[in-house]
């Protein structure tokens, strides 16, 4: 397993493996809980103020620290909204980018270190206006001024400065809420009671195993929507050719994942019969050429999020694995109905 330098380490094992958190983490968790409650009260009583951009705002986020599949869902939402005649824009903090205090428009050719990996991926795949700003309320205003009539916020469930109309919680179908404790004793950013405030709960069930079975851990519960991740053809990072993932079945490959839960990507490839040599990097890792020097000439498959950062120095056998989402049509009907209601209310 590759070890990588990063300021964004992988979560401690006790968040998800059932072992007891150390007592300092449990103590700090109580301190954190008090801070979260105090901040929420300040917004609730108007001491800290939220602002609204005047057009519908959809926030896609999660209650736990780390990845849960938000970005593929954001891309899917933006694409569906465009098909339905909306003019969407995406607001993001742009985690991990250089000069994080400077707001910036993200274009398809923006340097990854200036854009952040997820905003750049959204700008390239969804071809949509993307604004990165630590103040997502300011980012939303900028998108509306640019002509967007709906703002989709990538992450930001806890960014209360931006008043929102619809909240979508994304849940990792395998890890769920871990041990159910607040940071740092557990993965929760807010108490589980916060879940009741969200309008939609989307369970990232990942991909189905190759024999067609659906992992029980990925099933959606009552009031939840099941989201599948469907991998596309492997895209060469150098050159225009693409290969179906079946072309790698039965082969050994180096698999690179610098995401919140790397094992999700490795399992996806294994389910397709690919022999994975895993290389897990911390989320939002800043890659260098040396990170891909594995000492053997095997193909290298990586997530699309990692590919936007590795493309400048990738070798001939490096491929990106794009992901699209699949959700029940009833989810889209309900989301679009809610959005139309929001837009009508704001125009009155």
Q: Give the burial class of 236: count Cβ atoms within 10 A of its Cβ; 0-12 exposed, 13-18 middle, 19 or more buried.
A: middle
Q: Is 65 labelled as part of a ligand binding site?
A: yes
Q: Give the burial class of 99: count Cβ atoms within 10 A of its Cβ; 0-12 exposed, 13-18 middle, 19 or more buried.
A: exposed
Report CA-CA distances (Å) from 286 to 50, 154, 189, 249. Answer: 33, 20, 24, 29
Using CA atoms in the order 101, 103, 109, 112, what is the torsion angle rounded to 10 degrees? 20
Q: What is the DSSP string of 239-271?
A: SS-EE-GGGGTTSEEEEEE-SS-HHHHHHHHHH
Omega of the bond leading into 184 within 30 degrees of 0 (cis):
yes
Measure the CA–CA gap between 101 and 269, rounded to whole angstroms: 37
Measure the CA–CA gap between 274 and 292, rounded to whole angstroms: 19
Q: Is 64 labelled as part of a ligand binding site?
A: yes
Q: Is 305 labelled as part of a ligand binding site?
A: no
Q: Is 239 labelled as part of a ligand binding site?
A: no
Measure the CA–CA gap between 72 and 80, rounded to whole angstroms: 12
Q: Is 67 labelled as part of a ligand binding site?
A: yes
Q: Is 18 labelled as part of a ligand binding site?
A: no
**What token pair was written down for 92?**
């993001």
CB of 169 within 8 A of CB of 61? Answer: yes
- Residues annotated within a binding site: 64-71
- Residues annotated within a binding site for ATP: 64-71
């Amino acid at each position: 397993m590759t070890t990588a330098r990063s300021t964004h380490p992988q979560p401690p094992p006790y968040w998800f493996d059932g072992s007891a958190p150390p007592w300092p983490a449990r103590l700090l968790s109580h301190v954190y809980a008090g801070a979260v409650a105090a901040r929420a009260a300040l917004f609730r009583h108007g001491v800290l103020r939220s602002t609204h951009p005047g057009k519908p705002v959809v926030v896609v986020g999660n209650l736990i620290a780390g990845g849960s599949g938000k970005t593929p869902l954001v891309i899917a939402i933006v694409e569906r909204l465009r098909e339905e005649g909306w003019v969407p824009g995406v607001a993001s903090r742009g985690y991990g980018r250089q000069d994080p205090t400077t707001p910036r428009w993200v274009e398809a050719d923006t340097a990854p270190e200036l854009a952040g990996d997820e905003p750049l991926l959204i700008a390239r795949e969804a071809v949509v206006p993307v604004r990165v700003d630590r103040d997502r309320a300011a980012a939303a205003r900028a998108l509306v001024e640019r002509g967007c009539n709906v703002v989709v916020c990538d992450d930001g469930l806890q960014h209360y400065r931006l008043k929102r109309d619809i909240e979508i919680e994304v849940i990792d179908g395998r890890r769920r809420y871990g041990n159910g404790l607040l940071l740092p004793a557990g993965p929760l950013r807010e108490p589980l009671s916060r879940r009741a405030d969200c309008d939609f709960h989307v369970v990232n069930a990942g991909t189905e195993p190759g024999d067609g079975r659906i992992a029980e851990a990925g099933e959606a519960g009552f009031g939840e929507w099941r989201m599948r991740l469907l991998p596309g053809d492997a895209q060469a990072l150098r050159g225009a050719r693409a290969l179906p993932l079946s072309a790698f079945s039965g082969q050994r490959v180096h698999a690179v994942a610098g995401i919140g839960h790397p094992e999700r990507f490795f399992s996806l490839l294994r389910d397709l019969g690919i022999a994975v040599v895993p290389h897990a990097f911390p989320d939002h890792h800043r890659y260098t050429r040396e990170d891909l020097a594995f000492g053997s000439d095997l193909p290298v498959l990586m997530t699309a999020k990692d590919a936007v950062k590795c493309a400048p120095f990738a070798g001939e056998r490096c491929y990106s694995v794009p992901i699209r989402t699949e959700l029940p049509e009833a989810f889209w009907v309900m989301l679009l109905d809610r959005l139309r209601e929001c837009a009508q209310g704001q125009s009155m």
